[in-house]
Amino acid sequence: MTEQATTGPRTVVVTGAGRGLGLAMARRAGADGFRVVVAEVDADRGARAAEGLRTEGIDAHCVPCDVADPQSVARLAARVAELGPLYGLVNNAALANGVGGKEFQDIDVATWDRLMAVNARGPWLVAKALHPLFGPVGRIVNIASDAALYGSPRLAHYIASKGAVIALTRAMARELGERGITVNALAPGLTECEATEAVPAERHGVYAANRAIPRPQQPEDLVGLAAFLLSEESRYLTGQVIAVNGGFTMN
């Protein structure tokens, strides 16, 4: 493995940061002074996102990466090691676009397996490869979904994958606490962005009728919690699942 640099800005890796919620969280991390690595399976999208962040003055790097592929993830780890100390990882990449619509019995095995490989195995693979690069303090933020808390219909494979992300968060929090690394899950509600443009009006309606804060959710609504979970201030918070959804679900 490449020797880790010990000086320079702290690096935060955001998977799937080519657009949507990942890009919004990467932008905020950059604004907070972190070096940002956009780890994105769509290399062109990732490159455009990193270029856009650089025009905003952010130290952003794109590393093409498929989080479901161990070799691709190993290449990400090698590149991150060259860049300098790793401080944060936001496991955001997922198949979240156009995945709903079928009842559980109609989902085919190949679709189930692919979604699990990206959404559930991916965050584990990335954390497994990157954890040796963390310094004495680290932050892992796993992006779950409030669909797994609410139990949204016609999304069984997606919900199961996000349930796995929540359980993984707790397992990793137990194992990484001694090393000063916190692991938390952020569970967004239905957010207005590219991935949810095709979500049926009926599902938007369920959210609209049941939020405590009665307005549509925007990507920018998440970035404050993501920034807090990445900050020094959250040092004693770990193994938690926090829903940011205008009160659509409540613990």
Ligand X SMILES: NC(=O)c1ccc[n+]([C@@H]2O[C@H](COP(=O)([O-])OP(=O)(O)OC[C@H]3O[C@@H](n4cnc5c(N)ncnc54)[C@H](O)[C@@H]3O)[C@@H](O)[C@H]2O)c1
Specify the residue, 95 or 168, whose C-beta has the smaller distance to ligand X: 95
What is the b/e burial string over 138-171, where b = at least 16 CB atoms within 10 angstroms of the residue's CB?
bbbbbbbbbbbbbebebbbbbbbbbbbbbebbbe
Query: Could you tell me the smallest distance in angstroms from the CB atom of residue 197 to ligand X?
Result: 10
**Binding residues for ligand X restricted to 181-200, rule: CB under 6 A:** 188, 190-191, 193-196
Q: What is the DSSP code (8-state) at residue 217?
A: B
- In order of 151, 204, 248, the CA distances from 191 in angstroms are 17, 9, 12
Does the footprint of ligand X cover residue 42 (CB under 6 A)?
A: yes
12, 21, 26, 164: which one binds ligand X (CB under 6 A): 21
Query: Could you tell me the smallest distance in angstroms from the CB atom of residue 59 to ligand X?
Result: 20
Does the footprint of ligand X cover residue 79 (CB under 6 A)?
A: no
- In order of 27, 60, 139, the CA distances from 56 in angstroms are 9, 10, 24
Interatomic CA distance for residues 122 and 30, integer angstroms = 23
Does the footprint of ligand X cover residue 93 (CB under 6 A)?
A: yes
Interatomic CA distance for residues 143 and 244, integer angstroms = 11
Which positions are annotated as active-site residues? 158
12, 13, 19, 36: which one binds ligand X (CB under 6 A): 19
Does the footprint of ligand X cover residue 127 (CB under 6 A)?
A: no
**Binding residues for ligand X restricted to 139-178, rule: CB under 6 A:** 143, 145
The residues of the shown chain that bind ligand X, judged by CB under 6 A, are 15-16, 18-22, 40-42, 45, 65-68, 92-97, 118, 122, 143, 145, 188, 190-191, 193-196
